[in-house]
Structure 1
Amino acid sequence: MSVQEQEGHKGVYVLALENALQVHEVPRFTKHPALPARVMGQIAKERLLKISDTYISEAHRIFDTLTVIDEEACAHVGVKNTAVSDFAFRLLQSDEDTVHMPDVEINSFLALSYTWHSPAWRPHPSIATPSQVADGPLTPAMWAALLAQVGDQEAFWIDQLCINQSSESEKIAAIASMDLVYQCARKVVIALEDIALSSVEVNSMFLYAKSDMSRNQISEDDRDRLASAFVKIVAARWFDRAWCLHEFLVGRRHVFLIPVCQQDNSMTFTGSTARILRVDGPFLVQMYHIFLEQDTKHQNAGLDSLLYSGHFTGIALDNIRRFFLRLRAVQFDEVFGTEGSMEDGSYMHMFYEVFSHSATYKADKISIILNTMRSGLYLKDPTIISDEQCVWLVSLIAMAAGDVTVLTTNGPRSIDGGEQSVKNKKWIRVPSSEDQTRPPGVHSIPRTNIDAKIVADGLELDVLFLATHRALTAPSQNYLSIARWLIDHRSLSVMFIDEPEMRIDTEADDNIYAKIRICYIQALACAFACGKEWMLAYYARSHVSLPAGTEVQWDPLPRNKFGQAIDWGLATIIEQDIGSDLNETWQDGGTLMWADDITETQDEDLDADAANQLSIKLSSEEQVWYRLLLEFTERVVNVGLAISPDPDDSTVIQEVWNVQICNLPGVSEFLIYAPITDRQDDFLHLCLPNALWDDVYSWTTRLWLLEEDKNSTLPQRYNLRGKSRLVGITPLLGAPSKRVTIVS
Structure 2
Amino acid sequence: MERVGRRDVASTPPPLLYNSDWMKSNTCVGFAQSTRCFCATTRYISYILFWGRNMVALHTTPSMAVPDHPIHYTAVEQDCEFYHFDEDELDFSDLHVRYIEPAVTQQLLFPAHSRRQHSQTSSPLSVSNNNNDDDDDAEILLSTLAHLAPSVAKDFTPKPLFPSALPFKLIHDIYDPMGQDDSYIAMSYSWKKSNRATRKTVSPLGDLPFGWVRTVEQFPLPTSKGMFMAVLCERSEGEGLWFDQVCVDQENEVEKAGAIAAMGDVYRNARSVVVVLDDVEVERHEAGALQWWMRQWEGFQDHDVSIWRRERQEMNTALMEGDLVVLSFVERMLDSEWFRSAWCHLEMRMGRNRVFLCPIAGSENGISSIIRFTGSLLLRMLMLADKAASLAPSQRAQIQSLLRILRAPSAIRGKSSDNVGPSPGHCTEQNTSLSAHATSIVAATTDVFKLITRGDPRMPEHLRRLDANRDKISIALNITNTPLALISASPFQRPSIEDECLRKLLLLGLASRDPFALCTTGPPLCLHDGSMSWLSRPVPPVTSVTSLAPPPLARHDVENITQGSDGRAEYVQLDFTFLDLPHRSRPNPAFMSHVQRARDTIDICIQYRIRSHSTLWSNILSYTSQANPHHPRVPTLRNIFIQTLACAFECGLQWLLDIAAQQQGDPTPSSLNTIPAQLSLFQQSIQSLFTPSLPITHFLTTQHPSQIIPSLSFLLTILGQTISSGIPWASGANECSHGPLIVTLPSPQAQSPSNHAPPNKKAVLFAPFVYSKTLLVAVPKALSSSGYNDLSRAWVLTPKSLHTGGFEAVGGRGNAVRWVLRSKSVLAGERQFLEGLDRREGDESEGSGGRKVVHWIYGPGREDGGVF
- Name the TM-score, length of structure 1 as normaliser: 0.75
Structure 1 residue 226: deviation in Å? 2.3
What is the aligned partner in structure 2 of residue 252 from structure 1? 352
Question: Cα 1:22–1:516, aligned 2, differ >3 Å: closer, same or farther?
Answer: farther
**Does the 8 Å contact 1:434/1:643 carry over to 2?**
no
SS of residue paired to 2:678:
helix
**Does the 8 Å contact 1:640/1:699 carry over to 2?**
no
Q: Does residue 725 in structure 1 map to residue 826 in structure 2?
A: yes
**Does the 8 Å contact 1:465/1:685 carry over to 2?**
yes
Greater RCO structure (CA 8 Å; 6+ sep):
1
Structure 1 residue 545: deviation in Å? 4.9
For residues 373-522 of structure 1, what are the structure 2 equivalents within 5 Å? 373-382=480-489, 385-415=496-526, 420-421=529-530, 426-439=533-546, 441-443=547-549, 445-449=551-555, 450=558, 451-457=560-566, 458-468=571-581, 470=584, 476-482=594-600, 484-485=602-603, 488=606, 492-493=610-611, 495=613, 518-522=639-643
For residues 572-591 of structure 1, what are the structure 2 equivalents within 5 Å? none
Q: What is the alpha-carbon root mean square deviation over aligned residues?
A: 3.8
1:190 and 1:636 map into 2 onto residues whose CA distance is 41
What is the aligned partner in structure 2 of residue 742 from structure 1? 857
Structure 1 residue 482: deviation in Å? 3.6
Structure 1 residue 317: deviation in Å? 3.6
Structure 1 residue 282: deviation in Å? 1.6
Q: Which amino acid aligns with 1:401?
A: S
For residues 52-67 of structure 1, what are the structure 2 equivalents within 5 Å? 52=113, 53=131, 54-67=133-146
Structure 1 residue 285: deviation in Å? 1.4
**Does the 8 Å contact 1:223/1:290 carry over to 2?**
no
Structure 1 residue 452: deviation in Å? 1.0
Q: Which amino acid aligns with 1:229?
A: F
Deviations 1:247-297 (A, max 9, x none): 1112222111122234xxxxxx5431122111111221111222233x14x
Question: Cα 1:573–1:329, aligned 2, differ >3 Å: closer, same or farther?
Answer: farther
Q: Does residue 658 in structure 1 map to residue 739 in structure 2?
A: yes
Structure 1 residue 406: deviation in Å? 0.9
678, 692, 716: which one pairs with 1:558? 678
What is the aligned partner in structure 1 of residue 721 from structure 2? 635
Give the paired residue count: 622
Q: Does residue 694 in structure 1 map to residue 785 in structure 2?
A: yes
Q: Which amino acid aligns with 1:693?
A: S
What is the aligned partner in structure 2 of residue 42 from structure 1? 102
What is the aligned partner in structure 2 of residue 351 from structure 1? 445
SS of residue paired to 2:502:
helix
**Does the 8 Å contact 1:110/1:150 carry over to 2?**
yes
Question: Cα 1:488–1:260, aligned 2, differ >3 Å: closer, same or farther?
Answer: farther
Identity of aligned residues (%): 23
Q: Which amino acid aligns with 1:703?
A: A
Structure 1 residue 435: deviation in Å? 3.8
Structure 1 residue 199: deviation in Å? 2.5
1:55 and 1:79 map into 2 onto residues whose CA distance is 9
Structure 1 residue 246: deviation in Å? 0.8
Question: Cα 1:482–1:97, aligned 2, differ >3 Å: closer, same or farther?
Answer: farther
For residues 520-669 of structure 1, what are the structure 2 equivalents within 5 Å? 520-545=641-666, 558-563=678-683, 566-567=686-687, 621-643=707-729, 645-646=731-732, 656-664=737-745, 665-666=757-758, 667-669=760-762
1:676 and 1:60 map into 2 onto residues whose CA distance is 45
SS of residue paired to 2:96:
coil
Q: Which amino acid aligns with 1:559?
A: L
Question: Cα 1:23–1:663, aligned 2, differ >3 Å: closer, same or farther?
Answer: same
73, 78, 87: which one pairs with 2:157? 78
Question: Cα 1:483–1:163, aligned 2, differ >3 Å: closer, same or farther?
Answer: farther
Deviations 1:540-586 (A, max 9, x none): 1212259xxxxxxxx997123322563586699999xxxxxxxxxxx
Structure 1 residue 398: deviation in Å? 0.8
Question: Cα 1:33–1:520, aligned 2, differ >3 Å: closer, same or farther?
Answer: farther
1:453 and 1:538 map into 2 onto residues whose CA distance is 34
SS of residue paired to 2:268:
helix
Structure 1 residue 491: deviation in Å? 5.0
Q: Which shifted more, 654-663 or 162-171?
A: 654-663
Structure 1 residue 709: deviation in Å? 2.4
Deviations 1:87-112 (A, max 9, x none): 2111112x3322xx212x11101111
Question: Cα 1:628–1:494, aligned 2, differ >3 Å: closer, same or farther?
Answer: closer
**Does the 8 Å contact 2:550/2:787 carry over to 1?**
no
Mark the runs of 5 or more structure 2 residues left unpaired by the alignment.
7-74, 114-130, 197-218, 301-311, 422-430, 455-467, 616-627, 668-674, 698-703, 746-756, 811-815, 846-853, 860-868
172, 176, 182: which one pairs with 2:267? 182
What is the aligned partner in structure 1 of residue 463 from structure 2? none
1:139 and 1:483 map into 2 onto residues whose CA distance is 65
What is the aligned partner in structure 2 of residue 12 from structure 1? none
For residues 93-492 of structure 1, what are the structure 2 equivalents within 5 Å? 93=172, 95-98=173-176, 101-103=177-179, 105-118=180-193, 136-213=221-298, 214=300, 215=312, 220=319, 223-262=323-362, 269-293=363-387, 295-296=388-389, 305=390, 307-308=391-392, 314-330=393-409, 333-334=416-417, 341=435, 343-360=437-454, 361-382=468-489, 385-415=496-526, 420-421=529-530, 426-439=533-546, 441-443=547-549, 445-449=551-555, 450=558, 451-457=560-566, 458-468=571-581, 470=584, 476-482=594-600, 484-485=602-603, 488=606, 492=610
Structure 1 residue 396: deviation in Å? 1.4
1:567 and 1:287 map into 2 onto residues whose CA distance is 46
2:469 and 2:732 map into 1 onto residues whose CA distance is 23
Question: Cα 1:645–1:287, aligned 2, differ >3 Å: closer, same or farther?
Answer: closer
1:273 and 1:321 map into 2 onto residues whose CA distance is 36
Question: Cα 1:692–1:171, aligned 2, differ >3 Å: closer, same or farther?
Answer: same
Q: Which amino acid aligns with 1:108?
A: S
1:564 and 1:642 map into 2 onto residues whose CA distance is 33
Q: Which has the larger radius of gyration?
A: 2
1:72 and 1:628 map into 2 onto residues whose CA distance is 51
Structure 1 residue 58: deviation in Å? 2.2
**Does the 8 Å contact 1:481/1:574 carry over to 2?**
no
What is the aligned partner in structure 1 of residue 207 from structure 2? none
Structure 1 residue 379: deviation in Å? 0.6
**Does the 8 Å contact 2:595/2:642 carry over to 1?**
no
**Does the 8 Å contact 2:195/2:220 carry over to 1?**
no
Q: Which amino acid aligns with 2:711?
A: W
Question: Cα 1:727–1:229, aligned 2, differ >3 Å: closer, same or farther?
Answer: same
Question: Cα 1:179–1:525, aligned 2, differ >3 Å: closer, same or farther?
Answer: same
Question: Cα 1:25–1:404, aligned 2, differ >3 Å: closer, same or farther?
Answer: same
Q: Which amino acid aligns with 2:187?
A: L
Structure 1 residue 693: deviation in Å? 1.0
1:78 and 1:721 map into 2 onto residues whose CA distance is 34
17, 20, 27: which one pairs with 2:79? 20
Structure 1 residue 37: deviation in Å? 1.7
Mark the runs of 5 or more structure 1 residues left unpaired by the alignment.
5-15, 122-133, 263-268, 297-304, 309-313, 498-509, 547-554, 576-617, 649-653
What is the aligned partner in structure 2 of residue 615 from structure 1? none
SS of residue paired to 1:428:
strand
**Does the 8 Å contact 1:483/1:525 carry over to 2?**
no
Question: Cα 1:18–1:524, aligned 2, differ >3 Å: closer, same or farther?
Answer: farther
Deviations 1:677-696 (A, max 9, x none): 678xx532221112101110
2:730 and 2:250 map into 1 onto residues whose CA distance is 46
2:511 and 2:352 map into 1 onto residues whose CA distance is 28
